[in-house]
Structure 1
């Protein structure tokens, strides 16, 4: 299995879009078949990244299929318009 973790810092003044983006990510669970599980959360700490996605896939191929699924691409496009920074890591579990 593959765990995929992504964290974002958002640009100030994009709070409504941030909420829309995070809700869009949550909405992908149970819709994209390769997405086995996912957690989407906002940070509660100061000076941290603003939000995180922790998701799991059976394989790297399933992760790639998820990344290219049109439903994910649409949600991701919104994120690209509001993020200041993004970091990610994928690893086997």
Structure 2
């Protein structure tokens, strides 16, 4: 029973991080989804908001934001191996 009342109390509470969520989403969309939680945290710090990286990571997970991971280009060595000393 206590869990139910705790849940009801949480639902009626206003969202404390609403402005931070909007800011994170704006930075994410500004950079076309290329920024991860570390770079977004750095941008927020530059804008004057001191936020922990774990909080930014948690909010991004809630909003479903993931950065685009670039694939590394395949590099094969083509050439002659020099004389070994």
> Which is richer in strand?
1
Larger Rg: 2
Which structure has more RCO (C-alpha within 8 Å, separation ≥ 6)? 1
Q: Give the number of the structure whose residues are more often helix, by fraction.
A: 2
